[in-house]
Amino acid sequence: MSIAGIYPPIATPFDADGDVDYPALRANAARWMTTPLRGLVVLGSNGEAAFVGDDEAERIVGEVRALVPRDRLVIAGTGRDATRATIDACRRAARVGADYALVRVPMAFKAQLTADALLRHYRAVADASPIPVLLYDFPQSFGLTLPLPVIVSLAGHPNVAGMKESSGDVAQIADQVSSTPDRFEVVVGSAPTLYASLCVGAIGGVVAVANVVPEVCVRLYELTRAGRHDDALAVQRRLTPLARAVTATYGVPGLKAAMSIAGYRGGLPRAPLAPCPPAVEAELRAMIDALLRD
């Protein structure tokens, strides 16, 4: 099975009390299933995984899985700082139906996270996880880069299926693709480089803006696969401003506001994040209108 395609790293909507808003979560999942998305990534960085407890996480994955048909994929973020906690999270995600475990690089004690330590961590997780593991590299957020030799070594593990690369470094994605066997699939996690990453061999994308405008993201993907490069680049150019706004510029609060503007139920972020101010919402609305009008 291939993970090729486009996924949103879905936002986790919270209500005014700071609790998970499950009805909103279900409504979003159901609506995403009316689009050509390949599946959903649950509790990635944009899902505020850092703010969600283990019991909440299990329920969130299960609720989403119930709404995603078996021929589409549920990828669950299960990375923790400790190896044992990561394994536990993989098992719980598998139990409630996740297809893949997306395992971020550990963040604690970076100075001790040598190549050997990273290999031991990921091998132990891949050995124990009931579902295939995807590596997750995002140096800007995790403060550590997964070195290429570590990736190449892990690509030989039968329970490691691929990786998500969110650095936005297209040369790095090109290396990851060209240095690993075809069965190890690389998806890009940075929307402004979606088209270029597909050009150099990425098999798909997990991009926050696909929470808001999934159809546009899938169109870019399909155009690139069809070899219609000029058209794909044109879509990329129109997509990039909103993609930036809902990540680098306004973060998860911006993403949630944009989702609500687009008819999804973004809900509130958890503190210390704060909701977007109205001026930002207006700016996002204008960007979405422009994007969908063109």
What's the closest the beta carbon of residue 91 comes to a copy of itself, in angstroms? 15
What's the closest the beta carbon of residue 287 comes to a copy of itself, in angstroms? 15
Of the residues 100, 136, 184, 195, which one makes contact with a copy of itself according to CB under 8 A: 195
> Which residues are known catalytic residues?
164
Interaction pattern, residues 14-43, with a copy of itself; x per rule: CB under 8 A: ----x-------------------------
Cβ-based nearer residue to a copy of itself, 143 or 263:
143
Distance of CA 189 to the CA centre of its chain: 6
Of the residues 38, 121, 164, 256, which one makes contact with a copy of itself according to CB under 8 A: 121
Going from the C-alpha of 210 to that of each of 10, 12, 171, 254, the distances in angstroms are 8, 14, 23, 13
Does residue 111 bind a copy of itself (CB under 8 A)?
Answer: yes
Looking at residue 236, its amino acid is Q
Cβ(4)–Cβ(188) under 8 Å? Answer: no
Query: Which of the stretches 4-12, 26-34, 116-124, 204-212 binds a copy of itself when contact is defined by CB under 8 A?
Result: 116-124
Cβ-based nearer residue to a copy of itself, 69 or 272:
272
Query: Which of the stretches 24-32, 49-57, 61-69, 281-289 binds a copy of itself when contact is defined by CB under 8 A?
Result: 49-57
Of the residues 182, 227, 279, 293, which one makes contact with a copy of itself according to CB under 8 A: 227
Interaction pattern, residues 152-171, with a copy of itself; x per rule: CB under 8 A: ----------------xxxx
Of the residues 16, 34, 71, 109, which one makes contact with a copy of itself according to CB under 8 A: 109
Q: Between the CA atoms of 194, 9, 75 and 138, what dihedral angle is there, to the nearest 10 degrees? A: 60
Query: Which of the stretches 32-40, 66-74, 129-137, 235-243 binds a copy of itself when contact is defined by CB under 8 A?
Result: 235-243
**CB-CB neighbours of 286 under 10 Å:** 11
Tell me which residues in 255-274 interact with a copy of itself (CB under 8 A). 270-274
Secondary structure string (H, E, C) spanning the chain = CCCCEEECEECCCECCCCCECHHHHHHHHHHHCCCCCCEEEECCHHHCHHHCCHHHHHHHHHHHHCCCCCCCEEEEECCCCCHHHHHHHHHHHHHCCCCEEEEECCCCCHHHCCHHHHHHHHHHHHHHCCCCEEEEECHHHHCCCCCHHHHHHHCCCCCEEEEEECCCCHHHHHHHHHCCCCCCEEEECCHHHHHHHHHCCCCEEECHHHHCCHHHHHHHHHHHHCCCHHHHHHHHHHHHHHHHHHHHHCHHHHHHHHHHHCCCCCCECCCCCCCCCHHHHHHHHHHHHHHHHC
Of the residues 33, 248, 280, 292, which one makes contact with a copy of itself according to CB under 8 A: 248
Query: Which of the stretches 21-29, 31-39, 81-89, 153-161 binds a copy of itself when contact is defined by CB under 8 A?
Result: 81-89
Q: How many residues bind a copy of itself (CB under 8 A)?
A: 55
Binding site for a copy of itself (CB under 8 A): 18, 45, 48, 50-51, 53, 81-85, 106-109, 111-113, 116-118, 120-121, 124, 143, 168-171, 174-175, 178, 190, 192-193, 195-196, 199-201, 227, 229, 233, 236-237, 240, 248, 251-253, 270-274
